[in-house]
A and B are shown apart, each in its own frame.
Chain A
Amino acid sequence: MNLSDPARSQRLDALAAEYALGTLPARTRARLARAALGDAAVASAIRGWELRLAPLADGVAPITPPPWIWQAIAARLGMTADPTLETSWWTRVALWRGLALAGFVTAFALAITLLAPRQEELQQPIVAVLADKDGKPALIASAQRGERFMTVKAVGVATPEAGKALELWLLPTGAAPRSLGVIPAAGVSRVTLAAPPEIALAQIPALAVSLEPAGGSPTGAPTGPVLYTGKIERMY
């Protein structure tokens, strides 16, 4: 960016203004943000406008976010010293409770799954958000068509006590739950599917996670309380 050229610097300022205001379309917005990383003139034009418009944000009335958000942030950052996570509700959760609440979260997860990745990754996924009985999301499960695994990301899971493990289940219509194996309480993991998801999950309306002895249920059926449940949503 040649600052000695007044027309260019004026154009840069106009772009920076609309960047800070928010009206730039996605691609221009991304291009300008990238340019700011290597070009001090661009960075300074943007910062100038962010400062100019900043006082306007004071006029916004605060809205208290739901309390689980703090817990989710702490969980994402691996901050374990959070006393609010040590509650006992999850020892008494009925299997299907939370499904309705999780539904609206799922809609959002679909949007995220579709929007957040690069466009070439948008391949008709199957998604489920597993939430606790209060609708607080705990795990996001997704599977791409044609692949043989499901990716499970823990976004707000209470770490199980020693000697216990989390087990993931398929909940087929009119049949007993089928195990997908034990999953970790943090991070991203993969569970193997017997067939590509469009087949393996064809008659499966929902997933659930139960608390089991370390190593998984000894009986092949869930023995512990169900902690999280979520409806499977298909994008095709």
Chain B
Amino acid sequence: MAETSPDRKALHAASRNERLSGLLSRVALKDQSAFAALYEQTSSHLFGVAVRIVREAPAAEELLQEAFVNIWHHAASYDASRSQPFTWLNTIVRNRCLDWLRRRELLTVPLATEEDEGGGFEPPSGDPTPEEMLLNGADAHAVRQCVETLDAGPRQAIALAFYQGMSHAELAKHLRQPLGTVKSWVRRGLEKLKRCLDHAGFARN
């Protein structure tokens, strides 16, 4: 395990987090230039996250705006002792996108065709698959080893849910499995992931 790249990644992440922490504390004091810098440094990543989850560029554009409006208003509630700034920002964006997606499923709105034609999102060519992202993302962390212990089914289901916001029903359709099977893949996969992470000392809280 004498890889250098995970270390470099960890260093990079640490300096990024330090920078973002500083910006967030200035944003909490309503410093507009700090807010602009925060946007500059994080919007591409956060937009990448949002676009893949909601899978529609116009929706992702709106949700990114809402997320940053939210960040501006709530930066003061960011608690550095509880989470890394990047995690905090990511969580705000993910939750907003997931709320939007799940709420939309409650109301079947006959806009599918229009959306499919207009604002549909095609992943950039050469975009890694959700499973590749899962392993890339987990690089540099105990998480990677734990992700690798998952069976193919649960791993794929968790990757598609995390990166593409798929619901149980969508997973079942996409993976051509009964609903009960994907539900249990997700549940057991998460349980296994937790046992493995906790065993590896990934208890960050």
- CB of A111 within 8 A of CB of B59, answer yes
A86 to B101, CA, bound (A): 35
B204 at the interface (CB under 8 A from A): yes
* Nearest-Cβ distance from residue A100 to partner chain B, whole angstroms: 10
Give the segment of A17-25, A141-149, A209-217 that binds chain B. A17-25
A123 to B95, CA, bound (A): 27
B49 at the interface (CB under 8 A from A): yes
B205 at the interface (CB under 8 A from A): yes
Chain B neighbourhood of A81, CB < 8 A: 32
Produce 1/0 per residue, A1-23, CB < 8 A to B: 00000000000011001100111
- CB of A52 within 8 A of CB of B193, answer yes
Query: Which residues of A, 59-91, contact B by the 8 Å Cβ criterion?
Result: 59-66, 69-70, 72-73, 76-77, 79, 81
Query: Which residues of B, 76-129, contact A by the 8 Å Cβ criterion?
Result: 82-84, 86-87, 90-91, 94, 98-107, 109, 111, 114-115, 118-119, 124, 127-128
Query: Which residues of B, 147-189, contact A by the 8 Å Cβ criterion?
Result: 147, 158, 161-163, 165-168, 171, 186-187
B53 at the interface (CB under 8 A from A): yes
- CB of B119 within 8 A of CB of A52, answer no
Knowing A22-B162, A57-B94, A105-B58 are in contact, say whether A29-B99 is a contact too (CB < 8 A). Answer: yes
B136 at the interface (CB under 8 A from A): yes
A50 at the interface (CB under 8 A from B): yes
Please pick, from A22, A44, A62, A111, the residue contacting B98 in the complex, using a CB distance under 8 A: A22
A40 at the interface (CB under 8 A from B): no
A162 at the interface (CB under 8 A from B): no
- CB of B205 within 8 A of CB of A115, answer no
- CB of B124 within 8 A of CB of A54, answer no
A24 to B102, CA, bound (A): 8
CB nearest to A111 among chain B residues: B111
- Our count of residue pairs bridging A and B at CB distance below 8 angstroms stands at 190
- Which of under 10, 10 to 19, 20 to 34, or 35 or more describes the interface residues of B? 35 or more
Query: Which residues of B, 44-73, contact A by the 8 Å Cβ criterion?
Result: 44-45, 47-49, 51-53, 56, 58-59, 61-62, 64-65, 68-69, 72
Please pick, from B35, B114, B136, B205, the residue contacting A44 in the complex, using a CB distance under 8 A: B205
- CB of A61 within 8 A of CB of B204, answer no
- CB of A61 within 8 A of CB of B124, answer yes
B34 at the interface (CB under 8 A from A): no
Please pick, from A24, A56, A64, the residue contacting B137 in the complex, using a CB distance under 8 A: A56
- CB of B44 within 8 A of CB of A63, answer yes
B11 at the interface (CB under 8 A from A): no
CB nearest to B68 among chain A residues: A73
A79 to B141, CA, bound (A): 39
Knowing A57-B137, A60-B133 are in contact, say whether A18-B186 is a contact too (CB < 8 A). Answer: yes
Chain A neighbourhood of B28, CB < 8 A: none
* Nearest-Cβ distance from residue A77 to partner chain B, whole angstroms: 6
Chain B neighbourhood of A37, CB < 8 A: none
Knowing A26-B102, A114-B107 are in contact, say whether A59-B135 is a contact too (CB < 8 A). Answer: yes
Chain A neighbourhood of B197, CB < 8 A: 52
Please pick, from B32, B82, B87, B107, the residue contacting A79 in the complex, using a CB distance under 8 A: B32
- CB of A17 within 8 A of CB of B44, answer no
Chain B neighbourhood of A112, CB < 8 A: 62
Q: By CB atoms of chain A within 10 A, which of B13, B65, B118, B165 has the most?
A: B65
Please give me the 8 A-B residue pairs with the lowest Cβ-Cβ distance, nearest first. A59-B137, A104-B118, A59-B136, A108-B58, A59-B133, A62-B44, A26-B102, A56-B137
**Residues of B near any A CB (own CB < 8 A):** 9, 13, 32, 35-36, 39, 43-45, 47-49, 51-53, 56, 58-59, 61-62, 64-65, 68-69, 72, 82-84, 86-87, 90-91, 94, 98-107, 109, 111, 114-115, 118-119, 124, 127-128, 132-141, 143, 147, 158, 161-163, 165-168, 171, 186-187, 190-191, 193-194, 197, 202, 204-205
